[in-house]
Amino acid sequence: MSWFIKTILGVRINADKLGEVKFKFEPQFIDELTFAEGNYETVKGNIYVKWEKKGNIVDVIINKAQCIELLYEGMPLPDGESRFSVTL
């Protein structure tokens, strides 16, 4: 997994004790960047992330395959597309 995927897009592997692979969304919103977009292809399908900063608000779009578990702040995101905003 590349630095861009882990750090800028914020898609990280979160393997549990039983070896089941899950993913976490934990981006680093770097001051110099106002926008990021990309895909991470897993064996279970694709995770697409797009975020855009507008002042101290970051608008986020995530689209993921049904069989992928992706957590944000400890809660699983729903299958398909999710849209939400983050206050910095």
Instruction: Give residue 73's domain range.
Output: 3-87
Q: Which CATH number characterizes residue 21's domain?
A: 2.60.420.10
Q: Assess whether pLDDT exceeds 70 at residue 19.
A: no
Q: Are strands 70-72 and 21-25 parallel, antiparallel or unpaired?
A: parallel
| pTM attached to this predicted model | 0.91
Tally the domains of the chain. Answer: 1
User: 1 pLDDT exceeds 90?
Assistant: no
**Token reading at 35:** 């926008």
Q: What is the DSSP track for 62-86?
A: EEE-TT--EEETTEEPPSEEEEEEE
Residue 15 has a pLDDT of 74
What is the per-residue pLDDT across 29-48, written as a single tens digit (0 to 9) for each? 999 999 999 999 998 899 99
Q: Is 16 exposed, middle or buried (0-12, 13-18, 19+ CB in 10 A)?
A: exposed
Percent of the chain with pLDDT over 90: 84
Residue 16: its pLDDT value, please? 72
